[in-house]
Structure 1
Amino acid sequence: MKLFFKLLLLIPINIESSFFNSKAIVHPEIGANGMVVSQHYLATEAGHSILAAGGNAYDASIAVAFALAVVLPRAGNIGGGGFMVMFDGKTNETLSIDYRETAPALATKDMFLQQDGSVDRKRATQGILSIGVPGTVYGMWEVHKRFGSMAWSELLNPAIKLAKDGFVVSPFMADALNKRYQKLSQYKNFHRIFYPNYPIKMDQLLKQPELAKTLEIIAANGAKGFYEGEIAEKIDKHMSENGGLITKKDLKNYRPIWREVVKGNYDDYEIVTMGPPSSGGIHIIQMLNILEKHDLVSLGHNSSTYAALLTEVMKYAYADRSKYLGDPDFFDVPVETLISKAYATEISKRIKLNVITASDKILPGAAMQNESLDTTHFSVADKHGNVISNTYTLNSGYGSGIIINDTGILMNNEMDDFVSAPGVPNQFGLVGDEANKIEPFKRPLSSMTPTLILQDGRPIYATGSPGGSRIITTVLQFLINTLDFKMEISDATVAPRIHHQWKPDILMLETGFDIHHANDIEALGQKIYFSGPGTSLESIEIKNNLYYGFGDTRRPDSKAMGH
C-alpha cells in the first residue's frame, strides 16, 4: 500500500490532455463522429440511434423532437412550436426555420380582457382559449424535405415505440407531475393519461397508446397526417365542442417560415442566432456588443462589479424587447438598429461600473434616434459538418393542460405569449406593447434563443436553453463563459447564473452565487433575490476534430451522447 501512494505522488496532477481541459471541474461527453444533447436521456438515445444508423444531424434532430413529445410531455411536443437554427455542412450556409404557433383566425386582441379591462390570467394561460395553432410537426416535415437522408417513418419509430411500449417515469418527471396535480388533474384526458394513480411514483411504466397511434398516422402521411384528415378532424371537433377557436382551416393553412438568421460579431467570433419573432437572438447580439467594450476577464467572473455590469446591460435589452419586438410579418422590427455597434455605443455611454440605474429610468429605445421554464432545447452535430440548435415549447409546463380526444396530443398555451393588454405582464413577468398584440395568424413573441457560434466560418458551439424570460440571459452567460473566460462547456454550464429583465426591477441570483458579492450588489442599490434553477443549457462544442457535449445537470434527465 505504501508503494502505491509513492507511485501516486509521481503522477503529475496537472497533465494536459488532448481530449479534455485539465482545469475543468466538470467534464463533457466526447464523440468522434457526432453528438446529441437533449433534456431527456431517452430522446438523446433516439437521436444517437439515428446517427448510428447512418442518418445525418437533421434526421437525428427530427427523431429527438418526436421522442421528446413522448418522454418529456411538459415541454417536448407535437402540439406546440419553436425555432431551429442550422449550419449546413454541404453548403456552409446558416439557416433558420420558424415553426412557432400562430393565433387562430378567430382570435381577437381583447379576447382575454374582462369587463373592467383587466386581463383574465387563467383564461390566457389555461384551457381551450390559450391554445395557438401548433407548428412542430410541419416544422420537422419541412426540415426533412430539405435536408433529410433517411425515410421519414424511420425517424418517428423511436417515438412510436416509446409511446406504445411505455417508458419508466424518472424521479424528475414524477415530481413535476405531482407538483402540478391540482392544476392539471381538472382536465379529463390529462387526468386519465398521466394521473391514473396519484401520487405518481418513479419507476412506474407510462404508456401512451393514443399518442402512438397519432404518431403512426404522422409517420405514414407526413405533415398532412397532422394538419389534414383524421387528426385535424379530431382537433376541430374538440375545439368546437369546448369553445375553442382553432378550425380545420387554421390547421390546413398553417406553414412554417424559413427566415434569415440574425448575425453579429463578438471579437473574432460570429454569432448566428434566431431572428424575430424570437427576441433572443437580437438581444444576445445587442448585449454582447455592449459588453465587448469591457475587459470582462479583468473584472472577475461573477464578481459584484461584473454582475452589476451584466445587470445594467440586461435592463436595456429587455426594455427594448418590451417595445420593439414582435412578429416581423406584422410589425416593422428595427433589427439592424438594435444589433448595431453604434447603438451599443450609445447605450454604453449610459452605463458606469458599480452604478445601478433604476428600471424606471431606462426607457425602451432611450438611446435610439415569464415564456415558461418548461421549454426544452436540444443540439445535434454530425460527421458531415451539419450542426443543429433547436428550441421548442408548449409554453407553460404541460401547456394548456388540454389533450385532444383520442389523439394523446397535449396542446400549448402560447396565446399568453402575446400581449393581452399593453403594459400588463404575462405569466413570466414580461411586459409588451402594440408590437406583440393578438392578431389572427400572427406568431407570438418568444424568448427562445437557439444559437450557433462560428469561428473562421465553421461552427464551434451550438447551445440553447429552456427558461422563459431567463433563456436570453442564460445563453448570454454561456457565451461569455466560453468565449471570454475559456471555460469548458461543462463548467460554463454549471456556473451560477444571474438574470434581470428590466421589470420588475429585481436581480435574480441563482442559488450558489457568492453571498458576499450579492451583498455588495445590494449595497449599490439593486434589489436581489435568490432563485432556484430555471434553465437547462444543452450544448455542443466542436474542437480538435472531436465533438464535446454536456447536458445541464439542473435538469437531471439531461444527457449528452457522443457518436
Structure 2
Amino acid sequence: MLNRRETLRAALALAGTAGIGARCTAQTTAVSGYRPADVLRGPAGMAVSNSAAASSAGRDILAAGGNAVDAAVAVAFALAVTWPEAGNIGGGGFMMIAPPEQDPVCVDYRETAPQAVTATTLAEQTDRRHPRMVGVPGTVRGLALAQQSHGRLSWQAVLQPAIALAAGGCVVEAPLADSLNAVLAAVSKSTAPWHRPLEQTFGHPQRRRWRAGDRLVQPVLAATLQRIAEEGPDEFYSGQTARSLADYFEQHQGLITAEDLEGYQAVLRQPIRTNFAGHQVWAAPPPSSGGVALRLALQMIEHVGMPDPGDAAWTPMTVHIVAEAMRRTFRERAAYLGDPDFTPLPAWLGRRAHAAKLAESISRSRATDSRTLAGDIPLETGPVESPQTTHFSVIDAEGMAVSNTYTLEASWGSWLLDPATGFVLNNEMGDFNPVPGVTDLKGQIGTAPNQLAPGKRMLSSQTPTIVRRDGKTVLITGSPGGRTIINTVLCVLVQHLLFARPLPEAIAAPRFHHGWLPDQLRIETGGQSRLGELRGRLESLGHRVVETRGQGAAHSIAIEPASGIRVGVADGRRGGRVAATLIG
C-alpha cells in the first residue's frame, strides 16, 4: 500500500484520479485544529446538525420510514425550536437534494424584498435590528416545496417532533445556553420597544442566566407550528399567522404586508456543478453566490496547481494560493451576482477559460493589492453578512442526500418577535447593497446586481454542497458564517478531496478567509490551529493578516464508496451532534 505522502502526491498530481475511500484509508496523520464535537460511523440513515434534539428528530423520521427530505424538514423545524439564533421559520435559505441515480436539485427559499422598497430605501438605515430590515420569510414555503416534491411522509408527521419540543420543552445544551445569555444581555441594552418580546419569550422563568440542562418551553411557537401542521404551509402565508404578522409590521414601522406574504413562492433551481479532483461538486445557484463562487475558486486552484503540504494542514504557499483564488472570486461575486430573475448569470463566468485568465494573474511570490482588481467597480476611500447561520446534512439508507443551509442573517436576526406567533424574524434586508454605487474598502458593496428592488431576493453566501464520484454521493457539507461560508466549504473540499484528509481531519483543519474587500486575510487561530505560526510568512508575501478564533461549523457526512459506510462529523466550533439509524 502506498504511504500517506505517496498517496497525497498522486492525488495532487492526478487531480484526484484515485478513489476517495482509498485515499482516506491511507491518511493517518492528525491535523491540528478543532476537535469534532461528534463523529459517528454507520451503515444507514444519518443526520448532523447543531442540536442533539434536532439531529435525533431527523433520525426518528428516518426510522419511521421517511426519506432524507422528510428527515431534513423535521430537522429544520426542530432547529427553529432548539437553535433559535439561526434555526428558523422566520428566515430563509437553500436546500440541496440529491436523489439516488438523479441529478441534484436546489430548493431556493431565500427571503424577498417587500413591494414597498426602492433602490435607496435602506441607504440611510443604520439600525440593522429595525422592523424595516425584515425580508419576507421563505422557510415554510421552501420546506413545504422540498417535502411535497421529494418527501415520503405526510406534512403533519414531519412537523410533530418540533411541535413536541416546543410544547414540552427542549433540554438546553451548553451552546444554546451561551447563545440565550448573550442575546438577552445585548437586548437588555436596547431602548427599542419592539425588542422587549424577545426578552419576555426567551428570558429564564426564574430570572437568572440559562444553564446547560435547563428546559426551554415555547408554548406560543408550539401553537403556531400546530396550525402550520394542521392547515398546511399556506397557514403561514395567508392564515392566522400571516394576518398577525401583517398587523405586527403595520404597527411597528415595518414594510411587509399581507400581500407580500401571500405572494411569496419558493423555487426549484438547477444547482451549479463543477469538476474538481476527480469529483463532481454541486452547490446552490443564484441568488446564492455559493455555487458560482465555489466553482470559480476550485477552477483557479486547479489551474495554478497546489504544492504538496506534507503532514501540515496548510503551508504558507498553499494558504497563499487559495487566498488569492478567494480574493478574485469575491471580486467577481461583487461585480456579477444577484437574483437571477433580475440579473441573468453571465455564461462565461462558469467557463474554465475565465478562471484560467484570473488565475494567470496570481503571483506565487506576492499577494495582490485588492484595489488593483476593482476594474470598472468604483471604490470609495460597511456592513457585511453576519456569521450567524446554521447548516445541517442528512442521508437516508437508500442514499438520498440533503444539504441545507438557512439563516435569520444576524445572530437572532432582527431581535424582533411577534408575541402572537412566537418565532424570531430575520434582518435579511441587510444583505442587499444598501447604497447604489458605493463600494468601499471596508467591505460595503454597492454594485447593481444586488441592489434593492420589490420582490427581489437578496444575494447570499450560503453554500450547501453535495459531492459525487461516478454518480454516487461521497460528501454532504456546508457551513454558517456569512461571507466566510464559501471559503469554509472551499477549505473543507481542498482538505478532503485534494489533500486526502479523512472527513474528521478535514473538518478539524484550520480555515481562513479572504473576501476581496476589506483587503485582509483572516486566519483561524482558535482550537489547536497552527495557522498563527504562519502569520509572519504570509505577511512577508504581502498579506494583511487578521487572526480570528473560529470560522464556520461544517456539519458534514462522508460516504465511503467501497463500503457505503457513512461518517457523520459535527463541527466542534459550535458544538453539534450526529444521530443515526441502526438499520435501513
Instruction: Please indicate, yes or no, whether the TM-score normalized by the shorter chain is above 0.5.
Output: yes
1:388-443: per-residue Cα shift (whole Å, max 9, x none)?
A: 11100000001011111311021100000001113657999452411101111000
SS at match of 1:104: coil
1:33 matches 2:47? no
Would the alpha carbon gap of residues 171 and 426 (structure 1) be closer, same or farther in structure 2, given more than 3 Å must change?
farther
Kindly state the Cα deviation for residue 363 of structure 1 after the two structures are TM-superposed. 2.1
Structure 1 residues 19, 263: CA separation in 2 closer, same or farther (over 3 Å shift)? closer
Does 1:323 find its partner at 2:353? Answer: no
For residues 344-363 of structure 1, what are the alpha-carbon distances to aligned partners after superposition, in whole Å with 9 as ceiling and x for unaligned?
11012111213111111112
Cα 1:139–1:427 change in 2 (3 A) is farther
CA shift in 2, pair 1:237/1:550, >3 Å: same
For the structure 1 residues 156 and 108, does the alpha-carbon distance in structure 2 shift closer, same or farther, using more than 3 Å as the test? Answer: same
Output the amino acid matched with 1:346.
Answer: K
- In structure 1, stretches of 5+ residues that fail to align are 1-15, 115-119
SS at match of 2:318: helix
Q: Which residue of 2 aligns with 1:13?
A: none
Q: Which residue number corresponds to residue 546 of structure 1?
A: 565
The aligned residue for residue 534 of structure 2 is 517
Q: CA separation of 1:231/1:274 partners in 2, compared to 1, >3 Å: closer, same or farther? A: same
**SS in structure 1 opposite 2:417?**
coil
Equivalent in 173, 178, 195 of residue 175 of structure 1: 178
Q: Secondary structure of the residue that 1:293 maps to in structure 2?
A: helix
Corresponding position: 1:272 with 2:282: yes
Is 1:529 matched with 2:529?
A: no
Q: Give per-residue Cα distances to partners, 1:507-536, cap 9 Å, x unaligned.
A: 101012333321111112211011011300
Q: Give the structure 2 partner of residue 223 of structure 1.
A: 233
Listed as ranges, the matches of 1:90-239 within 5 Å are 91-114=101-124, 120-122=125-127, 125-185=128-188, 186=190, 187-196=195-204, 197-239=207-249
| Distance of 2:354 and 2:40 partners within structure 1 | 39
Say which is worse superposed, 263-272 or 299-308, in terms of deviation.
299-308
Aligned partner letter, 1:304? P
The answer on whether the counterparts of 1:463 and 1:539 sit within 8 Å (CA) in structure 2 is yes
- Give the structure 1 partner of residue 13 of structure 2: none
* Equivalent residues in 2 for 1:432-451, closer than 5 Å: 432-451=446-465
Give the 3 Å change call, closer, same or farther, for CA 426–74 of structure 1 in structure 2. farther
Which residue of structure 1 aligns with residue 474 of structure 2?
Answer: 460
1:66 aligned onto 2:77: yes
**Paired letter, 1:306:** T
CA shift for structure 1 position 245: 1.2
Which of 449-458 and 416-425 deviates more?
Answer: 416-425
Is the alpha carbon distance of 1:515 and 1:250 closer, same or farther for their aligned partners in structure 2, counting shifts above 3 Å? closer
State whether structure 2 residue 500 is matched by structure 1 residue 486: yes
Q: 2:460 & 2:375 partners in 1: Cα distance? A: 18
What's 1:6 paired with? none
Residues 307, 317 of structure 2: 8 Å contact kept: no
* Equivalent-residue separation in structure 2 for 1:494 and 1:427 (angstroms): 32
Residue of structure 1 equivalent to 2:308: 298
Equivalent residue in structure 2 for 1:410, among 384, 409, 424 = 424
Whole-angstrom distance in 2 between the partners of 1:339 and 1:411: 35
Q: Distance in 2 between matches of 1:514 and 1:221?
A: 52
Q: Give yes or no for contact 2:433–2:444 (8 Å, CA) kept in 1.
A: no
Corresponding residue for residue 363 of structure 1: 374
**Residue type at the aligned position of 1:339:** G
1:256 aligns with 2:257: no
Query: How far is the alpha carbon of 1:310 from its aligned partner?
Result: 1.2
Q: Deviations over 1:353-400 (max 9, x none)?
A: 13111111112589xxx3221111111111122111110000000101
* AA at the equivalent of 2:83: L
Q: Deviations over 1:453-489 (max 9, x none)?
A: 1111111111000000110000001001111111111
CA RMSD for the aligned pairs? 2.2
The question of 1:559 aligning with 2:578 is answered yes
In the TM superposition, residue 179 of structure 1 has moved relative to its aligned partner by 2.3
Change in Cα spacing, 1:225 to 1:244, as seen in structure 2 (3 Å) is same
SS at match of 1:530: strand
Q: Which amino acid aligns with 2:425?
A: M
Q: Which residue of 501, 509, 519 corresponds with 1:495? A: 509
Aligned partner of 1:3 in structure 2 is none
Please show how residues 371-382 of structure 1 align to structure 2 within 5 Å: 371-382=385-396
Q: CA deviation at 1:305?
A: 0.9
Q: What residue in structure 1 maps to residue 14 of structure 2? A: none
- Against the structure 1 CA distance between its residues 450 and 266, is the aligned structure 2 distance closer, same or farther, given a 3 Å change threshold? same
Q: CA 1:428/1:244 → structure 2, altered by over 3 Å: closer, same or farther?
A: farther
Aligned equivalents of 1:85 and 1:481: distance in 2? 22
* Higher mean C-alpha displacement, 76-85 vs 542-551: 542-551
Please state how far the C-alpha of 1:562 moved relative to its aligned partner.
5.2
Residue range with higher mean Cα deviation, 340-349 or 178-187: 178-187
Q: Secondary structure at the match of 2:320?
A: helix
Between the aligned partners of 1:325 and 1:418, the Cα distance in structure 2 is 11
Instruction: Classify 1:364/1:313 alpha carbon distance in 2 versus 1 (closer, same or farther; 3 Å).
Output: farther
For residues 217 and 392 of structure 2, the distance between their equivalents in structure 1, rounded to whole angstroms, comes to 24
What corresponds to 2:87 in structure 1? Answer: 76
8 Å contact from structure 2 (residues 523, 531) kept in 1: no
- Cα distance change, pair 560–525 in 1 and its aligned pair in 2 (3 A): farther
The alpha-carbon distance between structure 1 residues 427 and 200, as it changes in their structure 2 partners (threshold 3 A), is: farther
* Structure 2: distance between partners of 1:307 and 1:22: 21
Letter in 2 for 1:192: Q
Determine if contact 1:238/1:405 at 8 Å carries over to the other structure. Answer: no
Instruction: Please state whether the residue corresponding to 2:210 is helix, strand or coil.
Output: coil
| Number of aligned positions between the proteins | 536
CA contact (8 A) 1:549 1:562 kept: no
Q: 1:414-429 to 2 correspondence within 5 Å?
A: 414-422=428-436, 424=438, 429=443
Q: Distance in 1 between matches of 2:115 and 2:130?
A: 18
Identity of aligned residues (%): 37
Task: Indicate whether 1:308 and 2:320 are aligned.
Answer: yes
What is the CA–CA distance in structure 1 between the aligned matches of 2:289 and 2:228, rounded to whole Å? Answer: 31
1:321–1:432 CA contact under 8 A, matched in 2: no
Contact preservation (8 Å) 1:297, 1:484: no
Give, as a single letter, the amino acid of the residue that structure 2 aligns with 1:534.
Q
Distance 1:128 1:391 in 2: 24
* TM-score (ref. length: structure 1): 0.91
Deviation at 1:20, TM superposition (A): 6.9
Task: Tell me the secondary structure at the aligned position of residue 228 of structure 2.
Answer: helix
- Give the direction of change, closer, same or farther, for the CA distance of 1:17–1:483 in structure 2 (3 Å limit): closer
- Offset at 1:206? 1.0
Cα deviations by residue, 1:84-113 (Å, 9 ceiling, x for unpaired): 111112x52211110000001112221222
SS at match of 2:452: coil
- Equivalent residues of 2:441, 2:517 under 8 A apart: no
Structure 1 runs, 4 residues or longer, greater than 6 Å off: 16-22, 425-428
| Cα distance change, pair 19–45 in 1 and its aligned pair in 2 (3 A) | farther
Q: Which moved more, 1:352-361 or 1:177-186?
A: 177-186
